[in-house]
């Protein structure tokens, strides 16, 4: 089996879309057993929670304060909608601001400041972790302000 075939077989389990038994059915028995193999999926999920908490601390705090209990299902739903697709784990949050916007536009009861804070947090993280090469301007999302900005 190729390395590509291995990752194709294991990715659904690591993304929380399939049980460990599906990996065993495809690749053969695991010396550790199905339960221990399945724990890798738990570790990936925990890491995704940690990444979003670390990259978007203000958004997470706002959810915990204003919408208690909403953060865990939000992260799980985001994970399902946007599986990790980059070698840099911090880029797992690349679509988080847009995801929040789509939820709000779909009727979720939270203010646009959630997605604006997410956008700011992601840009700050990318600027901090970026190299000295040309900036990736596709990461900057300019939208109409939700209310006038007054400077006195």
pLDDT at 75: 96
How far apart (Å, rounded) are the C-alpha atoms in residues 96 and 110? 15
pTM: 0.76
pLDDT (tens digit, 9 = 90+) per residue, 85-108?
888 888 899 999 999 999 999 998
pLDDT at 80 over 80: yes
Specify the residue for token string 């900057």: 140
Contact (CB, 8 A) for 103 and 37: no
pLDDT at 151 over 80: no
């Amino acid at each position: 089996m190729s390395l590509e075939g291995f990752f194709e077989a294991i990715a659904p389990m690591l993304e929380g879309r399939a049980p460990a038994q599906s990996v065993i059915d495809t690749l053969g028995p695991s010396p550790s057993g199905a339960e221990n193999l399945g724990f890798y999926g738990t570790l990936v999920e925990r890491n995704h929670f940690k990444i979003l908490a670390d990259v978007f601390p203000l958004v997470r705090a706002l959810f915990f304060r204003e919408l208690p209990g909403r953060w865990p299902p939000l992260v799980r739903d985001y994970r399902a909608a946007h599986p990790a697709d980059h070698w840099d784990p911090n880029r797992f949050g690349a679509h988080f601001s847009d995801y929040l916007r789509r939820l709000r536009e779909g009727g979720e009861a939270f203010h646009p400041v959630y997605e604006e804070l997410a956008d700011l947090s992601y840009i700050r993280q990318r600027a901090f972790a970026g190299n000295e090469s040309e900036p990736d301007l596709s990461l900057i999302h300019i939208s109409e302000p939700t209310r006038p900005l007054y400077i006195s």
